[in-house]
Amino acid sequence: MTFATATIGGWHMNRLSVAGAIISLFLAATPAVAQQASRCADCHFAQNTVPNPDHLYDWDRSPHARNNVGCEKCHGGNATVFEASIAHRGILNPANKQSPVNRANLPATCGGCHVGPFVAFQDSRHYELLKGGDQHGPTCSTCHDPVAGQLLSPKALEKQCSQCHGPKEVAPRAERARNARQMYESLNAIRDQLKLANAMIKRVDDKQRRADLMNEYEQASVPMTRAINAGHKFVYGELDEYLKVAQERVEKLMAHIANRAN
Ligand code: HEC
Ligand code: HEC
Ligand code: HEC
Ligand code: HEC
Ligand code: HEC
């Protein structure tokens, strides 16, 4: 029994390696195409006089670079030419209030692609602060980096909130930070259960049963996305409601997966 599982595991790994090799080939072929699509990165990488080289490397390693979100998607400008003065036409320094990457305009700039978080963010006190010209509230880049698209762990998030929420900080209510960590710890616990369920479903032999379980898995994932979006209000009542729905659905799903095994 153990042997059979190991064999299946090994076979699975081989299939993954083959898929990995195919994906690597594909990726090896894509940068040339992507670079042609965005001359900005080509030139900025080639010159050592450009400001903020770390930003370039953060971009290069980010889901944005991998998904063809070029420099011009946030900064504007003309990404098809290699002539700096033409490429930079319309590009403003981030400190300029008209710049799409000015901290006050980031929600709309990022939100053009990330609609769910943006809609919820507009309901927050933080957004009110930004729109009012107040410099003390967070904007999208406070938690996600200007370009890297990072996702903070619950602990790192708590630390981020604490930078502003605390006895001697710009905002009151230190408990906001603790509460945020707890919420995202619960979220991660459910996410782990979903991952486990997904792995188990993939091992189900019967095709119809596998499809049914996968459908149930997707139904359980929907409230998770809604919870993550709603988290951008930073008041977590709605997030908590969605988490409860997700938890119920995951438990039912796990029970359905287990039923057959017995
Ligand atoms: C041919 C080279 C070249 C191309 C093409 C190019 N840049 Fe630049 N870029 C530079 C150099 C050099 C600087 C620093 C000197 C300057 O500000 O002109 C710079 C500066 C910048 C700055 C800082 C501006 C500021 O006011 O602080 C931004 C933002 C920027 N580039 C974005 C872009 C984007 C977006 C594109 C594509 C649409 C692009 N660049 C295309 C060479 C280039
Ligand atoms: C996801 C949005 C996004 C993308 C994509 C992006 N940037 Fe930026 N960039 C920003 C933000 C936001 C800032 C504001 C600075 C900050 O908050 O650190 C910035 C700042 C900069 C600066 C510093 C300007 C200054 O004078 O301070 C340069 C130069 C720059 N970006 C160039 C680029 C280049 C070149 C690319 C592509 C390789 C790129 N950016 C891709 C969002 C982005
Ligand atoms: C105070 C911190 C904070 C700010 C400000 C913030 N976010 Fe988030 N964001 C989070 C957290 C926490 C998550 C969930 C992380 C996880 O899934 O583990 C998240 C998740 C995301 C995701 C991933 C969504 C998904 O379905 O996985 C995107 C995209 C995103 N945020 C975009 C934005 C945008 C756009 C803004 C500005 C309008 C913004 N965020 C402002 C904390 C923040
Ligand atoms: C032109 C569209 C576009 C813009 C503008 C854009 N993004 Fe993204 N972003 C994407 C795509 C595409 C991905 C990768 C696919 C995904 O995870 O949704 C991504 C990924 C992310 C992720 C990781 C999500 C995850 O689940 O791992 C975060 C966080 C994020 N972006 C935040 C931002 C922030 C903050 C800004 C503005 C500074 C921004 N994005 C601007 C398209 C965009
Ligand atoms: C860059 C600073 C900054 C960060 C980071 C930050 N906040 Fe805030 N927050 C503020 C400021 C400033 C206010 C306005 C306080 C006021 O209304 O007097 C505020 C207000 C709020 C409010 C509305 C007022 C209240 O307490 O009911 C909530 C809720 C909130 N923040 C939650 C959070 C959470 C949760 C995090 C982390 C995920 C966070 N904030 C991160 C600066 C920040």
What does the domain layout of the chain look like in residue ranges?
Answer: 177-261
Residue 73's Cα: distance from chain center in Å?
A: 17
Task: Using the predicted structure, report yes or no on whether residue 229 has a pLDDT greater than 70.
Answer: yes
The pLDDT of residue 13 is above 50:
no
For the chain, the average pLDDT equals 87
Q: Whose CA is nearest to atom 39 of ligand 5?
A: 161
Ligand 1 centroid, distance to 224 Cα (angstroms): 39
In the structure, what pLDDT confidence band is assigned to residue 59 with cuts at 50, 70 and 90? very high
Residue 231 DSSP one-character state: G
Please tell me the number of the ligand nearest to residue 37's CA: 1
Going by alpha carbons, the residue nearest to atom 25 of ligand 1 is 93
Is the model's pLDDT at 26 over the cut of 50?
no
> What DSSP string describes 163-179?
TTBSTTSSB--THHHHH
Q: Which ligand is nearest to the CA of 126?
A: 5
Q: Read off the pLDDT of residues 29-43 as tens digits, 9 standing for 90 and up.
A: 344 444 446 899 999
Q: Is the pTM of this model over 0.85?
A: yes
